[in-house]
Structure 1
Amino acid sequence: MTSFIIKAHERRPVPEFWRSDKGCAFCQIILRAAPAYRIYEDDLVVAFLDILPLRPGHTLIVPKAHHSRVSELPENYAAALGVAISKVSLALTKAMDNTALNVVCNQEYAQAVAHVHYHVIPAPKFGSMSTSMGSSDLHAAPVPKELHNREFEVQRIYEDAARLVNVLASSKKQ
């Protein structure tokens, strides 16, 4: 079934608004025409901190060539992204003293920038003072259901903060 779905989308035309990379924020970062806090780079990829992080350490990893779909990425870029994801993930787990993380790549659906990119997002570190959720005396690892509940609580905090930023931004415009 999956191969049938994939075959139906092979070689489909790229939407007109994705053809140009002139306005691509990631291409601007790659060219150093826009600022970014780079944490990894090689000949084919660059990794930098997200400007709207879901959590501290949220990193984006992008190919240096403009491609909008991961499913159409040339093999050399796909391989380079895999290496970079592994290196960045290892560095983040050491820097954040937390081995839990998410690696996410969206294609079209929920893809805010039409340039292939992977998100490497450290998970909340429960049981420390680094989140507003856990208490510092939590010793036992939370069960999966408890982790999901805490994650949703943390997400609500970020959503509330985003709404506040939007309200402040709109009030400045008036």
Structure 2
Amino acid sequence: MTSFIINAQVSQAVPELWRQDRECAFCQIIYRAAHAYRIYEDNLLIAFLDILPLRPGHTLIVPKIHCSRVSELPPEYAAALGKAISRISKALTKAVDNTALNVVCNQEYAQVVPHVHYHIVPAPRLTSLPAGLGSGDLNQETALTAGDMHRKEYELRDDLDEDDAHALVERIKAHL
């Protein structure tokens, strides 16, 4: 009986949603062909640290199907992402001791990897700005605009440090 069922499936086309893009950086992470600092994973999605973080804790949440547009994401994946965003955001705020976050999902515009993904980025603290954004920039005479601050933060991005990544993953996981 089992062989009959298997044989009936052999010539069937693979559903489009099950296909992965071998060139996609996120598909490579999903199938462990590329390394990532994994924070959370279930049968529908994966969460990991961004390798070029805007700030410590910058996390990506990615569905395990290759879909380029959030507007085309199947409902079960969208629901799973919504639940994971809330859960991981809560853990991240505790791990970095900062409740201020940006949660972003781009579609085509500003989407570097054409695979649906959400960014969860801890917001900057005005009391502890990155090097190059010193507190002197915040006095009334030289106050930064939000655009200036974003531009300078982007310019200061650096590769994720392996030791820092391991420690951060453990702190976030402790709160999941």
TM class by shorter chain equals: 0.5 to 0.7
Give TM-score, length-normalised by structure 1: 0.68
Structure 2 residue aligned with 1:121: 121
Q: After the TM superposition, list the runs of 4 or more consecutive aligned residues in structure 1 that deviate by more than 2 angstroms.
A: 130-135, 145-158
Give TM-score, length-normalised by structure 2: 0.67
Distance 1:157 1:23, change over 3 A: closer
Aligned-residue identity in percent: 67
Q: Distance in 2 between matches of 1:126 and 1:134?
A: 9
Task: Quote the RMSD (CA, aligned, Å).
Answer: 2.6
Superposed CA offset, 1:102-159 (max 9, x none): 011111111111110001111112213x633455xx9xxxxxx86725444434434x
Structure 1 residue aligned with 2:54: 54
Q: Distance in 2 between matches of 1:156 and 1:36?
A: 23
Q: Distance in 1 between matches of 2:86 and 2:29?
A: 21
Distance 1:155 1:65, change over 3 A: closer
Alignment of 1:23-34 (within 5 A): 23-34=23-34
- 1:49 maps to a residue whose letter is L
Instruction: Report if the CA contact (8 A) 2:20-2:27 is conserved.
Output: no
Instruction: Report if the CA contact (8 A) 2:54-2:153 is conserved.
Output: no
Superposed CA offset, 1:63-92 (max 9, x none): 001111100000000000001111111111
Instruction: Report if the CA contact (8 A) 1:126-1:134 is conserved.
Output: no
Structure 2 residue aligned with 1:98: 98
Please list every run of 5 or more consecutive structure 1 residues that lacks an aligned counterpart in the other structure. 1-18, 139-144, 163-174
Matched, 1:131 2:130: yes
Distance 1:33 1:20, change over 3 A: closer
Aligned length: 135
Instruction: Report if the CA contact (8 A) 1:46-1:61 is conserved.
Output: yes
